[in-house]
């Protein structure tokens, strides 16, 4: 549906897309990997350039999380290629992840990346997909505000820890003000479990228990 923002837990529809690395099936070609799909308003713009450099500088951290990056804007693939060349030549940074050329705007519209109140370019959207292609996290930034790439890395890591341990992740993890790098045990759903929780874990109360992983 055009203009609709997908919801968490929804699987991204597979489609063939043009990228700076050739035509790919997205997200099927990434099955088994986590993916950060992020849109930017336009090539050859200052804030977008800083973001691409920041993503590339941290690409090894994403790789360690079995996570791939893929950019997107409504520019043509020729523009993407030239912009990537410019970044390498002028800034000394080689962009090694693919960029989708959504020059007809079909993908951007289907993912709600174009706001009728913010012009015709894509906003700064971020979709984190799990290895099954399911949307697990969505972030939307306006065109004038660059993203915090370290927060995106933290979010991917937190999702993986949550999935692997069936726990919840506190604010500012792993530097939470109350429990530091520990994680939160899901609240008890019956009286017996509630009574046992404080005997099993460190707790502020039966509904707020935490542990190290």
User: Alpha-carbon distance 179 to 167, whole Å?
Assistant: 14
**Best CA proximity match to 98, nearest among 84, 112, 88:** 84
Catalytic residue among 48, 67, 203, 209: 48
User: Alpha-carbon distance 43 to 195, whole Å?
Assistant: 57
Q: Quick check: 159 and 188 in contact, CB under 8 A? A: no
Give the pTM.
0.94
124 marked among binding-site residues: yes
The CATH homologous superfamily to which domain 15-147 belongs is Glutaredoxin (3.40.30.10)
Tell me if residue 48 is catalytic. yes
CATH number for the domain running over 166-213: 3.30.1020.10
Domain locations in the chain? Answer: 15-147, 166-213
Output the pLDDT for position 119.
78
10-residue mean pLDDT series, the chain (213 residues): 78 96 97 98 97 98 98 97 98 98 92 84 94 97 95 98 98 98 95 95 97 96
Output the pLDDT for position 126.
97
């Amino acid at each position: 549906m055009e203009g609709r923002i997908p919801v968490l837990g929804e699987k991204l529809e597979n489609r063939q897309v043009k990228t700076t690395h050739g035509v790919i099936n997205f997200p099927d070609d990434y099955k088994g990997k986590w993916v950060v799909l992020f849109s930017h308003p336009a090539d050859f713009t200052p804030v977008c350039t800083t973001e691409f450099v920041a993503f590339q500088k941290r690409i090894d951290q994403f790789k360690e999380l079995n996570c791939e990056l893929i950019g997107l804007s409504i520019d043509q693939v020729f523009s993407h290629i030239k912009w990537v060349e410019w970044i390498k030549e002028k800034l000394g940074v080689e962009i090694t992840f693919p960029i989708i050329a959504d020059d007809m705007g079909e993908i951007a519209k289907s993912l709600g990346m174009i706001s009728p109140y913010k012009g015709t370019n894509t906003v700064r959207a971020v979709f984190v997909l799990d290895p099954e292609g399911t949307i697990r996290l969505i972030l939307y930034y306006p065109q004038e505000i660059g993203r915090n790439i370290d927060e995106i890395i933290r979010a991917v890591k937190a999702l993986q820890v949550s999935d692997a341990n069936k726990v919840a992740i506190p604010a500012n993890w792993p530097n939470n003000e109350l429990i530091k790098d520990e994680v939160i045990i899901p609240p008890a759903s019956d009286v017996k479990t509630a009574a046992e929780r404080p005997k099993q874990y460190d707790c502020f109360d039966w509904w707020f228990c935490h542990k190290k992983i």
